[in-house]
Amino acid sequence: MKKPAYFSKGFVFFLISVIFLWGVCAWIIVSSHKSPPACSEKYRQDKTITTNGHKLHAQTAINSQQQETGLGVRACLGPDQAMLFIFDKPGYYPFWMKDMKFSLDIVWASGNKQVVDIQKNIAPATYPKSFVNSKLAKYVI
């Protein structure tokens, strides 16, 4: 009696290959959706900013040298970290991505700490373009 075709060596090899390829595809999909590694770089936490129940630990940039450098010297930024720029008076404050190594959001806030403008997911490749608030702001995160 002849064995059915689905028991042939070729069919078994094909079945094992398909299972293997499905496994490889699943591994690629899972590994591509991993969270980015935590930022282990030392970071000053001068202030805590709370918005919608979420806390951000902020390093302040008060003087002009700190403000010009900004986050440009950092390799990474943790999900709960930020830089807080504090200006003497409300105004229009442009920001650029000079020397940046990662994308970020910029949030401008008024003197009474209300959000007045947001620019999301700004990439380092946008340099030398500047991003400026559309309403007066005293703080920038």
Residue 42 lies in a domain: no
Per cent of the chain over pLDDT 90 is 53
For the segment 56-71, the average pLDDT, to the nearest whole number, is: 91
> Is 106 found in the same domain as 77?
yes
44-76 as b/e: b if 16+ CB within 10 A: eeeeebeeeeeebbbbbbeeeeebeebbeebee
Q: What is the pLDDT of residue 1?
A: 58
> Is 51 found in the same domain as 25?
no
120: helix, strand or coil: strand
Q: What is the pLDDT of residue 25?
A: 46
Comparing 31 with 42, which gets the higher pLDDT? Answer: 42
Comparing 25 with 77, which gets the higher pLDDT? Answer: 77
Tell me which residue range forms the domain holding 19: 1-34
Comparing 16 with 87, which gets the higher pLDDT? Answer: 87
pLDDT tens, 68-121?
999 998 999 888 899 999 999 999 999 999 999 999 999 999 999 999 999 999
Q: What is the pLDDT of residue 128?
A: 95
Specify the CATH number for the domain of residue 80: 2.60.120.1140
> Is 117 found in the same domain as 93?
yes
Q: In the chain, how many domains are there?
A: 2
> Is 67 found in the same domain as 28?
no
Q: What is the pLDDT of residue 83?
A: 94
